[in-house]
Chains A and B, each alone.
Chain A
Amino acid sequence: MTYSAPLQDMEFVLNELCDLEGVCSLPGLQETTPDLASAVLEEAAKIASEVLAPLNRQGDTQGAKHLDGKVVTPDGWKEAYREFIEGGWNSISFSEKYGGQSLPYLVATAVQEMWHASNMSFALCPMLTQTAMEALLMHGSDALKQTYLPKMVSGEWTGTMNLTESQAGSDLSAVRTQAEPNGDHYRLYGQKIFITYGDHDLTENIIHMVLARTPNAPEGVRGISLFLVPKLLVNTDGSVGEPNDVRCVSIEHKLGIHGSPTCVLAYGDKEGAVGYLVGEENQGLVYMFVMMNLARHAVGVEGLAIAERAYQQAASFAKERVQGRPIGTKSGDRVSIIHHADVRRMLMTMRCKVEAMRSLAYLWAGAFDKSTHHPDEDERLRQQQIVELLTPIVKGWCTETGNQLASLGVQVHGGMGFIEETGAAQHFRDARITTIYEGTTGIQAGDLVGRKLLRDGGAAAVMMLETMRKIEPSMADIKEFDKIYKQSLDDLEQATQWLLKAAMEDPQLPAAASYYYLELWGVVVGGWLMAKSALAAQKKKSAGEGDKAFYDNKIKTASYYAAHVLSGTTGLRHTIIEGSDDVMALQVEDF
């Protein structure tokens, strides 16, 4: 099954909902114009569909292998990686100062969607390199940056993030890896697990960013530092030297993303792995938090991307698979299953939620660009507030929805979907990790309620609600949209008020409600953006501009979203307000 990037919808979201032109006029981003962005997306789409997508299945069936102590990537991975970095795609939004292209994160997000949709297992490698580069750029010394950054930007070396240990998953305070000072560097000892692309054969060197404790560091999260540990030591002239004392012990056998090697890395089996402190001691977790927004957004985009791929596959299958006759007819030709209403229901659910997720994920990216590049400080802070509030929603809602839609993709295929050869099952399996890594949905929901709602007493939430109340969906001529939309905003507002109050009575209540509260936010923000799409489409149509059929469809998917998705907010509000005390009702021993 092939992948074709949905360029028309991507450009619609970028231009009509995310103010691409405004973002391109920000200081530091003016090299980009909407026309140029369009050319970039078109070329990226070619790489995605012609280079990466054809390898997706190979990655799944063959998988990464651990042979003779070395990790071997699936056939074709090396050539694809070469094509990818030679094309300059590794450094799309990275600063020109280090060899990047300085494109807005908004444009990079659309490109990222294509990488993940075409081949998520492959895309994880550049994604992790990006995160490691961000950490180094923000906190590393000039000497470290000069030695490592340019080669990571070019893709000559890749990067990894080493946080998790077997006893330290969601709770990083339990990190035990030791870092002992040794002259101008440190020696690291310990074991890290779940390291994506922790070892591979795509590049000569790999740069690990590792969380560890120095001797006498305080207990818990305040005693964790960040270190840069290269796989091969780098000589003073920049050339690659002796192997460092770090090795891949094994790779995991996983439910999905088989092409991406998930490694157990052992540090310091012999003399200790040479590591260099990034920033200051004991600041490691603070640094992680700075990057977390970007990393969590990127995983949210994975949820969106897999759902798009699953949708394309399901729609194409539904158009080909012939079963049964149209309802109400007993003779005549059998038809493809897309003619049956229940199959349509599934495809429409997939389609409208994908559109809503895309709008949300891109909106976040536009806000991120404004929060980092806008000349006015107040505006930067306002955009930052949006970024902070939306981060757990992008990550939590887009990945939960991505799973739901990949599952629907299998369902559209019927029995054929349960068969691996069809390919629908791979998307379902690949999507499954997205609600887990980079903070589970539970962690996102806790972040939304604890840090984003309760900490500022609901200020950001109220600001967002006010913004969302400013539009009138009725103008798009969709039946009942106004009523459903206003109800959904009321539901969200009431749930928000209740949470603020309940938190003072019993701290368990917001935690018990948090998952549903995150879902409620996702559905309502999605509704807001679908309403905005419908309004923008209506405006274009009235002006007689562009592709009328496309705009008609945008209005139809918005209408479906309103009646089938947004209408569910009242149930969520009820669950939150009336059902939260049921969550902890049984005693532990009753389970």
Chain B
Amino acid sequence: MKILVPIKRVVDYNVKVRVKSDQTGVETANVKMSMNPFDEIAVEEAIRLQEAGTAEEIVIVSIGIKQCQETIRTALAMGADRGILVETEEEVQPLAVAKILKHLVEKESPQLVITGKQAIDDDNNQTGQLLAALLGWSQGTFASKLEFTDDRLKLTREVDGGLETVSLSLPSVVTTDLRLNEPRFVKLPNIMKAKKKQLDIIPMDSLGLDTTSRVKILKVEDPPQREAGIKVDSVEELIDKLKNEAKVI
């Protein structure tokens, strides 16, 4: 089985995100960037499937600026086989990402796509679902456990009420939740080997797809600062404030 793992380069989860002064987005210049943590879990799961003999080849895909190569190299150092960067300077929204991935899926013919359930920068949680719909494939989102049995995929999902287990036909799109696995530390010799692994770069424009943004961002701003509370002297005062200031009762 061949697995395609789409990954996104995002602001590192340890970095305190700052809004750009012109309010068009968050600051990414000179900020430490790394692989979206949910995507890292997806890469780890693919590697485990390969180690277990279920998968033969793991192809990493990322869409974005040329520095995304570093993020792809990290996935290759973890153990993936080769990488593809669809290079663009533009912001690419989930639908466009899904279209690009569909194009690559048709070219690469994987039986499984595993990706993070969402990226920690925009928290859209759409790409996996959109891709499955465009391909007409089954989808298993928020996966916390994967098992392959007789050409079907048994997948445990983390849902609001608890755990839901579904059986999926292949090919399928799987999105990972936090508890699926704990990604490994990269081994030093594998960092050296990753340098020599194949990484193809495809300009996004050459794909001939409509990648225009469907959602227009008007403004990005910090959440309002929480103000300090006050102490009231009596129940009467509290009720008065709730009625007349907060207007909640």
Residues of B within 8 A of A89 (CB): 188
Residues of B within 8 A of A101 (CB): 188-189, 192
Binds A, one of B41-49, B70-78, B211-219: B70-78
* Cβ-defined contact, A550 with B30, below 8 A: yes
The yes or no answer to B238 lying at the interface (CB within 8 A) is no
Q: Mark A342-368, 1 if CB is under 8 A from B, else 0.
A: 000000000000000000000000000
* Cβ-defined contact, B185 with A47, below 8 A: yes
CB nearest neighbor in B for A32: B192
Q: Mark B189-210, 1 if CB is under 8 A from A, else 0.
A: 1111011000000000000000
Distance of A119 from chain B, by nearest CB (Å): 15
* Cβ-defined contact, B191 with A43, below 8 A: yes
Question: In chain B, residues 21-52, which have Cβ atoms closer than 8 Å to a Cβ of chain A?
Answer: 29-30, 32, 34
Choose one: B14, B30, B188; the contact of A87 (CB below 8 Å): B188
The yes or no answer to B170 lying at the interface (CB within 8 A) is no
The yes or no answer to B163 lying at the interface (CB within 8 A) is no
The yes or no answer to A171 lying at the interface (CB within 8 A) is no
Distance of A83 from chain B, by nearest CB (Å): 7
Residues of A within 8 A of B194 (CB): 39
Total contacting residues, chain A, CB less than 8 A: 25
Q: Mark B76-95, 1 if CB is under 8 A from A, else 0.
A: 01000000000000000000
CB nearest neighbor in B for A101: B188
Main secondary structure on A side of the interface with B: helix
Choose one: B14, B34, B74, B188; the contact of A88 (CB below 8 Å): B188
| With A36-B192, A39-B191, A550-B30: A87-B70 Cβ-Cβ less than 8 Å | no
Kindly state the separation between the CA atoms of A119 and B46 in the bound complex, as whole angstroms. 33
The yes or no answer to A380 lying at the interface (CB within 8 A) is no
Kindly state the separation between the CA atoms of A47 and B73 in the bound complex, as whole angstroms. 18
Kindly state the separation between the CA atoms of A8 and B95 in the bound complex, as whole angstroms. 35
User: Contact size class for B?
Assistant: 10 to 19
Kindly state the separation between the CA atoms of A469 and B77 in the bound complex, as whole angstroms. 44
Residues of A within 8 A of B30 (CB): 546-547, 549-550
Residues of B within 8 A of A86 (CB): 187
Question: In chain A, residues 539-558, which have Cβ atoms closer than 8 Å to a Cβ of chain B?
Answer: 546-547, 549-550
* Cβ-defined contact, B188 with A92, below 8 A: yes
The yes or no answer to B242 lying at the interface (CB within 8 A) is no
* Cβ-defined contact, A87 with B73, below 8 A: no
* Cβ-defined contact, B185 with A39, below 8 A: no
Distance of A106 from chain B, by nearest CB (Å): 16
Residues of B within 8 A of A88 (CB): 187-190
The yes or no answer to B186 lying at the interface (CB within 8 A) is yes
Distance of B79 from chain A, by nearest CB (Å): 13
The yes or no answer to A461 lying at the interface (CB within 8 A) is no
The yes or no answer to A443 lying at the interface (CB within 8 A) is no
Kindly state the separation between the CA atoms of A88 and B73 in the bound complex, as whole angstroms. 18
* Cβ-defined contact, B74 with A4, below 8 A: no
Distance of A100 from chain B, by nearest CB (Å): 10
Residues of A within 8 A of B191 (CB): 36, 39-40, 43
Kindly state the separation between the CA atoms of A47 and B189 in the bound complex, as whole angstroms. 15
* Cβ-defined contact, A43 with B192, below 8 A: no
Distance of A345 from chain B, by nearest CB (Å): 26
Question: In chain B, residues 66-119, which have Cβ atoms closer than 8 Å to a Cβ of chain A?
Answer: 70, 73-74, 77
The yes or no answer to A31 lying at the interface (CB within 8 A) is yes
Distance of A35 from chain B, by nearest CB (Å): 8
Residues of B within 8 A of A248 (CB): none
Residues of A within 8 A of B74 (CB): 39
Residues of A within 8 A of B188 (CB): 40, 43, 87-89, 92, 101
* Cβ-defined contact, A31 with B187, below 8 A: no
Report 24 cross-chain contacts, Cβ distance below 8 Å, ordered by A residue.
Answer: A4-B14, A7-B32, A31-B192, A36-B195, A39-B70, A39-B77, A39-B191, A40-B188, A43-B77, A43-B186, A47-B185, A50-B185, A83-B185, A87-B185, A87-B186, A87-B188, A88-B187, A88-B189, A88-B190, A101-B192, A546-B30, A547-B29, A547-B30, A549-B30
Contact residues of A with B, CB < 8 Å? Answer: 4, 7, 31, 33, 35-36, 39-40, 42-43, 46-47, 50-51, 83, 86-89, 92, 101, 546-547, 549-550
Which 4 A-B pairs rank lowest in CB-CB distance, beginning with the nearest?
A: A547-B30, A88-B188, A43-B186, A88-B189
Q: 15 other contacts beyond A39-B77, A89-B188, A550-B30, with CB at 8 A cut-off?
A: A7-B32, A39-B70, A39-B73, A39-B191, A40-B191, A43-B77, A43-B185, A43-B186, A46-B186, A87-B187, A88-B187, A88-B189, A101-B188, A101-B192, A547-B29
